[in-house]
């Protein structure tokens, strides 16, 4: 996370009352109005929000989802030098084997790139 993003999140968290280190960063709008800082966004709300944002930028396709954004963030982090442990922590995977699945995506991508270059 870049410094400016971190500062914005800290500012946002500072505006909330009774926020501890284990409280969710993002809460539902209804919970915010009730000053309930423990109600996390639901997966359905996240999916709908992601779909609306993707549609707004012209990516209105079933293959683009909240999960595909998460997967892209993990893959790009690994591609740009993050360790598996860093990505595991970012994704909050309990088991590193789950995170290692993202490495297979990079390996497959590399294989495809090498195969394509063989034909040039």
Look at the block and give the residue holding tokens 């909240």: 66
67-88 pLDDT, tens per residue?
Answer: 888 888 888 898 889 999 999 9
Burial tier of 40 (Cβ tally within 10 Å: 0-12, 13-18, 19+) = middle
18-48 pLDDT, tens per residue?
Answer: 667 777 777 777 766 676 666 778 889 889 9
- In this prediction, residues 46-68 reach a mean pLDDT of 92
Q: What is the pTM of this model?
A: 0.61
What value, to the nearest 5°, has the Cα angle with vertex 28 and ends 25 and 30?
140
């Amino acid at each position: 996370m870049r410094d400016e993003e971190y500062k914005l999140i800290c500012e946002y968290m500072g505006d909330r009352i009774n926020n501890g280190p284990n409280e969710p960063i993002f809460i539902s709008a209804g919970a915010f109005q009730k000053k309930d800082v423990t109600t996390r966004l639901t997966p359905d709300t996240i999916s709908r929000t992601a779909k609306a944002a993707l549609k707004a930028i012209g990516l209105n396709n079933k293959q683009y989802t909240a999960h595909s954004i998460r997967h892209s963030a993990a893959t790009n982090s690994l591609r740009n030098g993050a360790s598996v442990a860093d990505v595991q922590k970012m994704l909050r995977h309990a088991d590193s084997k789950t995170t290692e699945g993202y490495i297979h995506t990079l390996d497959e991508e590399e294989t495809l790139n090498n195969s394509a270059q063989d034909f040039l």
